[in-house]
Amino acid sequence: LDIERVARLNCLILGAGTLGCTVARGLVAWGVRNITLVDAGRVSYSNPARQSLYIFQDCLGGGLPKAESAATHLKEVFPGVLATGVEMTIPMPGHRIVKEDVDITIDSIRRLDTLVQAADVVFILTDTRESRWLPTLLATTHNKITLNSALGFDSFLVMRHGPKPSSVSKERLGCYFCNDVVAPANSTLDRTLDQQCTVTRPG
């Protein structure tokens, strides 16, 4: 194991929830020093019990931005980590964009593209299938190693896609949507709480 190479990796974590917090802490434990977290949410009262980078004070006053708060607490865990939080909504197919949000959406696409290009490894840890479509497309376009993971109440998913480990092979691994039979759409519409993670429970 090349510890110095691991330390130099630039890791992009999309989703600062239960998985995002756990993966971030795990990366620090393995010696990774450059981590960017992306999330559009704010810390709610149910988060600190399940998501290891938040505390009760983060929930007060409407909640701090999750990505920035997670980055701050990650630096408290280990001050040597270069952690950055980016508050941003990932544009999703099947979700309506009103006229007033067109410019913001285009800017989000450009920002996400820049973040993916700068990363060595992309972790897609968001709640819905459709929120993974654009990051998957960008990571494939830029030939990035991508780890796709999700937790449901009664199921889970872990998938690696991107270039193969061997530099000799020119073949690529199939991505999340290459192996899916359902087109990305608004998968959370009219779903109960136990069905909100639509990555592990499609259809």
Whole-number Å distance between alpha carbons of 122 and 13:
6
Q: Which residue is catalytic, options 11, 21, 59, 197?
A: 197
Write the CA distances from 110 to 15, 29, 40, 102, 116, integer angstroms.
18, 31, 16, 13, 10
Q: Which amino acid is at 46?
A: S
11 is an active site residue: no
User: CB neighbours of 112 closer than 8 A, spacing ≥ 6?
Assistant: 38, 88, 90, 91, 134, 135, 138
Whole-number Å distance between alpha carbons of 93 and 30:
35
| Positions marked active-site | 197
